[in-house]
A and B are shown apart, each in its own frame.
Chain A
Amino acid sequence: MAASIQVAPGASTPAPTPASATLSVLAWRRFRRHRLALIGAVVLSLIIGVCIVAPLIVPESAANRVDPGHFRAPPSVAHPFGSDDVGRDILWRTIFGGRISLAIGALSIALAMSIGVVLGSAAGYYGSWTDTLIMRLTDAMLSMPSLLLLIVLTRILGASVPTIILVIGLLNWMQVTRIVRANVLSLKEQDFVLAARAMGVTDRLIIFRHVLPNTLAPVVVAATLGVGYAIILEASASFLGLGVQPPTASWGSMLYRAQGLMIQAPWVAVFPGLMILLTVMAINFLGDGLRDALDPRAQD
């Protein structure tokens, strides 16, 4: 991806790249120096790794298995994170809940990014009424509180995991649309785009081959931070009992159940929340690091 950035700048914008290193190498160097971002990347890989590997070892029923005699058991060797009011193991539920939370975060943002990139490049490249219409719609969507919209839509459409992914995706494309549009607006006036157009390259090819690769960096950053936001959004709805429905666990829905238990069994509330905090923090660190590393104006 970064290799194409190197080719792109025309005569009007001298490339900041020294001849010795490609942009991707420079970006990696900057990223490596960002200690917190590295930690974020490691923590996130660990969390994702556990969520992927765990079901290969233990079937999903482990997360829903009731252990009689261990109702509301505090953390112990048998139940490292404790157990809930019907004796289910919090550790396994947290891991399997994490699969749901992470999947919702990643897939919904993938959808949001696709919508945002398409709408943003259409608005920026074609301008005039296409631009007005898309940007007004963006403003309108931004004025509606997203948690409320999410809850209303899942109430109407049903709160299955695919629906939640779809709805969160449909609620989060606005930021990217704005970023891509702004980038496309400035890029389309540059000489290399004019040259391509003079050569008779089609609009679609210009957008996909020449314009979009140059706006990839801010989109990657927005996507990373967006996943954190989507995870919190899902968790908030599920925490209110209006998101992921039982028996499926997500970090948010575990906390919904924990509300009535937290006086006798605070661990039920602590671990899933801690996982959300850890994951979102790791994502935010990673996003910050990527922003610094991918910024072509950053000095080396």
Chain B
Amino acid sequence: MGRYVARRAIEAVPLLLLVSIVLFGIIQLTGDPLAAYTVDSTLTADDIARLRHFYGLDQPLPLQYLHWLQNILTGNWGTSFVSNLPVVELLAQRLPNTLLLVLSAYSLILVSAVVLGTYSAVHQYSPFDHLVTTLAFVGISIPSFWLGLLLLIFFAVQTRNLGLPYFPAGGMYDLAIGPTIPQVAWHLVLPSITLATVVAAGYIRYVRASMLEVIRQDYVRTARAKGLSEAVLLRRHAFKNAAIPLVTLIGLDLPRFLSGSVVVESIFAWPGMGRLFWEEAQRTDIPVVMAVLMFTSVLVIVFNLLADVAYAYLDPKIRYR
């Protein structure tokens, strides 16, 4: 197992390097970083040449890349064009909020996929099953931002107009009350449902399909013949084979969560990384935007690694070569 983990970790290195090359290429597309100075008439061509030399911009691209990579690896990610704060600091502020949102959505998906998927499979072709499969199809096709808008219209605006209890329309907590746990949880409901729905729909179908396959297998029939109750049968035997891969499979969907969090956080004013990305993208604040892109890519690669390892650990059928 240790060797397997080590091998997967080593395989991640060329991947990270390739990602860094792609990202460096994108930065090159932004054009000359000194473009703003070349129009400044107080600077002579000589000044600009010295500036260029000072920032290492006169070196060949491969050298610039290595220099850039060294900065990234040592945590020197530059400063925001807009706020002049170090990018790393901005990211560190926002990251926990995004993780909170993603983890709540992840738990929602896990629970709803297992419960709805299993129930649908056990009661195949029942009205409930039809309802779930139809909703899953809608869920797969619905754009998350539109779902977010509709939830906002109905459960934050309309319910409030009707004098019913309503969800907050945005933010992380009521400024008058402060970031208490119930406040944050209350503000988390609509964003995490929005983020979860689009991904959950696919997994409900997945659990339903694999449950249907598992409950027809001989070992399940044997267990039933042995006199086990249906509940124990499902929980102990069928569930393990059908649903445990889910824990890691959803982990592999992290890029979708992170893309989704940009949308959801901007609709619900959730102060996370996605909203930071959205705000700074509008101001073309390249250092911050690139840092978020870079950080999310690394996060995805690390999570893929963890998911692979967890899957190998959970599934004894996989041999560690």
Contact = CB atoms under 8 A, between A and B. Distances in A.
Interface string A149-168: 10111011100000000000
Interface in A118-133: none
Contacts of B259: 145-148, 236
Nearest to B277: A148
B137 to A, nearest CB: 7
A242 B19 CA distance: 23
Interface string A218-256: 000000000010001001100111100000000010010
Interface residues of B, number: 46
A258 B259 CA distance: 21
A285 B141 CA distance: 10
A257 to B, nearest CB: 12
Instruction: Tell me the interface secondary structure of chain B in the complex.
Output: helix
B15 A139 contact: yes
A265 B22 CA distance: 43
A157 B29 contact: yes
Nearest to B17: A140
Interface string B168-206: 000000000000000000000000000000000000000
Nearest to B152: A262
A266 interface: yes
A239 B22 contact: no
Nearest to A276: B143
Contacts of B26: 152-153, 156
B146 A273 contact: yes
B155 to A, nearest CB: 13
Contacts of B144: 236
Contact of B145 (A140, A152, A239): A239
A142 B263 contact: no
A141 B19 CA distance: 7
Contacts of B141: 228, 277, 280-281, 283-284
Nearest to A151: B281
B18 A137 contact: yes
A240 B18 contact: no
Nearest to B157: A263
A148 B143 contact: no
A204 interface: no
Contact of B262 (A147, A156, A273): A147
A270 B149 CA distance: 9
Contacts of B301: 143
Contacts of A297: none
B13 to A, nearest CB: 11
Contacts of B157: 262-263
Contact of A144 (B140, B149, B297): B297
Contacts of A152: 26, 281, 289-290, 293
B296 A255 contact: no
A252 B146 CA distance: 9
A281 B138 contact: yes
Contacts of A144: 19, 22, 255, 293, 296-297, 300
Contacts of A258: 149
B212 interface: no
A45 interface: no
Contacts of A269: 146, 149-150, 153
B143 A145 contact: no
B14 A136 contact: yes
B281 A242 contact: yes
Contacts of B255: 142-146
20 contacts: A137-B18, A140-B19, A143-B15, A144-B297, A145-B293, A148-B262, A149-B293, A152-B281, A152-B289, A152-B290, A155-B289, A156-B26, A156-B286, A235-B143, A241-B282, A242-B282, A255-B149, A273-B146, A283-B141, A284-B140
Given A148-B293, A240-B145, A240-B278, 10 more contacts: A140-B19, A145-B258, A151-B277, A152-B293, A155-B281, A232-B143, A236-B144, A236-B259, A269-B150, A270-B150
User: What 6 A-B pairs are tightest by C-beta distance, nearest first?
Assistant: A273-B146, A147-B259, A140-B18, A281-B141, A280-B141, A145-B259
